[in-house]
Amino acid sequence: MITILKGVRRIMTTATMAKSVSEFNMPVPWGEIKGKVWGPEHGRPILCLHGWADNCGTFNTLIPLLPKECKYVAVDLPGHGFSSHRPPGVFYTFPAYVADVRRVIEALQWKRFSVIGHSMGGNIAVMFSALYPEMVDSLILLDSYGSFPTDSKELGKVTREGIEGMLQFEKKTNEKTEKVYTYENALIRLMAANPSLSESSTRTLLERGLIHVEGGVMFTRDHRIHLNNIARSILEQSLALQSKIQARVLVVLAADGFEKMFAEPEQKECFSKLLKCFTDQKGRVVKVPGDHHVHLNTPENVAQIVTDFLREGSSSQNQAIAEDTQSAKSELL
């Protein structure tokens, strides 16, 4: 079922949610994964995964508009924000990010939880939900199709380019020094690279996207995230993986987001098949006004939709628990 929403309701930020924010920090074999936590300690667990080259600050404006009874953990994925970069010589791939998520869930001691993923974070969320279907109850994708399949004819070419890119990067690493910017120049550079970001949203991402050094600021992200991903999948593999998901699924697409960016006939056909796979499994696809960073730029466009979906899931879970309890009592009588 695909729904087009022309009007949305604005939700007011709650003072309680705004105040209950803390830092998340956990060790990993190569350093630390960091992030932010909103909400009560024992609230319904929700993991939030940001997009490529962003950081967990991407959820700063949306989460305060979502149900305050939930606990939201948003992480800086390795190589992004304040989290450690991967060790030298190691590639950034989706399976590796899924393993990172598994580490985070183990540290949090969550048995079952929901996931909100934007863009690349949505792809990671889909792969995790397919590999660990028993752990994810609700899956929300924000301007993400859940995967980005590679044409089978291009698979060898792009994989080779990724390997060669890493080798060239390693040769240049010893020769170059990190560039130091003024804050305003860093702001201009990030806005130029991400036309969908408003100035306010860019400043929000820079809170975790920059570190202060002598003479100015430097970007925190690892340059290796710009290299070609070498762990690719073709459409058939993506669909097969997607079919393993047991969670309730909500896909929120921005009218001026990925649908406009990837509008070639072959791309549209590919993404249409991915969405059909979700809707065939009773997933919901909703289109809203906004651009690729709609959840950050204009969070009111998506907040009520996400809120309703989360609360529907909570009601369904409570009903299932009640039915299981009643069934157990009946067996004892």
Domain annotation for the chain: domains and CATH numbers: 2-147+231-332 (3.40.50.1820)
pLDDT in tens, 249-262: 999 999 999 999 99
CB neighbour class for 188 (10 Å; exposed up to 12, middle 13-18, buried from 19): middle
Query: Considering the entire predicted model, what is its pTM?
Result: 0.90
Q: Specify whether the CB–CB gap between 31 and 269 falls below 8 A.
A: no
pLDDT in tens, 262-273: 999 999 999 999
- If you ran DSSP here, which 8-state letter would residue 226 be given? G
**Half-sphere exposure of residue 309: CA atoms within 13 angstroms, side-chain side:** 24
- Cite the active site residues: 119
- Per-residue pLDDT, 330: 54
- The stretches in the chain having pLDDT less than 70 are 1-19, 174-176, 315-333
H or E element that contains 240: helix 235-242
